[in-house]
């Protein structure tokens, strides 16, 4: 994914946060309901995290009930990324009308298709907005070492999601 696409996705997440006056941590189940969608948890195979399906003029997000809550949050935001970026929900009525009962491939962490990377970028930007993220990093850095867990708890995401977001924002090393 190039820098321009990454920036566009960041702007979309920022726009939605601003428009809907979302505060961290986001209540993602309430957000789904506010969009007229449905949410359910289901016992999926261990390597599957979640999926999104178009249901007539609405949608259903299904998340693996066996995953930790913090991971579920990122998965829900990831599926919301598919909803807006790849299905055009609300933002692109032409695309939405052309999506015929869309069913995304079941999302799992090792999926590295362009669509999956874009949905990950959206999820990270929605859940951990840049300025707020940088503020939390500064607040939790002492003697040159950043404590990840308080940031994870603040945004209600996994430590892995925090570290990855920090790498993309240039705060943490890729090594």
Residue 117 CA to residue 51 CA, distance in Å, equals: 15
Residue 151: is its pLDDT beyond 60? yes
What is the pLDDT, as a whole number, of residue 100?
A: 82
pLDDT tens-digit map of 40-67: 999 998 888 999 999 888 999 999 999 9
The stretch 133-153 carries a mean pLDDT of 97
Asked if 93 and 144 sit in the same domain, the reply is no
Unique residue bearing structure tokens 């999601």: 161
**Total domain count for the chain?**
2
Question: Under a CB-based contact definition with an 8 Å cutoff, are residues 77 and 71 in contact?
Answer: no
The β-bridge relationship of strands 145-146 and 58-64 is unpaired
Asked if 64 and 103 sit in the same domain, the reply is yes
Give the structural domain span for 9: 3-127
Asked if 133 and 123 sit in the same domain, the reply is no
Nearest Cα residue to 26 out of 155, 163, 173? 155
Asked if 30 and 102 sit in the same domain, the reply is yes
Asked if 30 and 72 sit in the same domain, the reply is yes
Residue 101: is its pLDDT beyond 80? no
Stated pTM of the model: 0.92
């Amino acid at each position: 994914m190039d820098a321009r696409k990454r920036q566009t996705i960041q702007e979309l997440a920022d726009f939605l946060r601003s428009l809907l006056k979302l505060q961290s941590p986001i209540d993602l189940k309430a957000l789904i309901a506010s969009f007229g969608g449905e949410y359910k948890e289901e016992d999926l195979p261990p390597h599957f995290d979640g999926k999104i399906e178009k249901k007539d003029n609405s949608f259903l997000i299904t998340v693996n009930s066996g995953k930790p809550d913090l991971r579920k949050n990122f998965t829900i935001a990831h599926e919301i990324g598919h909803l807006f970026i790849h299905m055009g929900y609300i933002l692109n009525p032409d695309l939405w009308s052309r999506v015929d009962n869309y069913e995304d491939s079941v999302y799992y962490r090792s999926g590295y298709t362009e669509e999956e990377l874009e949905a990950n970028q959206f999820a990270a930007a929605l859940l951990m907005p840049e300025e707020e993220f940088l503020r939390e990093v500064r607040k939790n850095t002492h003697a040159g070492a950043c404590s990840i867990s308080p940031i994870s708890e603040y945004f209600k995401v996994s430590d892995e999601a925090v570290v990855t977001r920090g790498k993309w924002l240039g705060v943490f090393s890729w090594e």
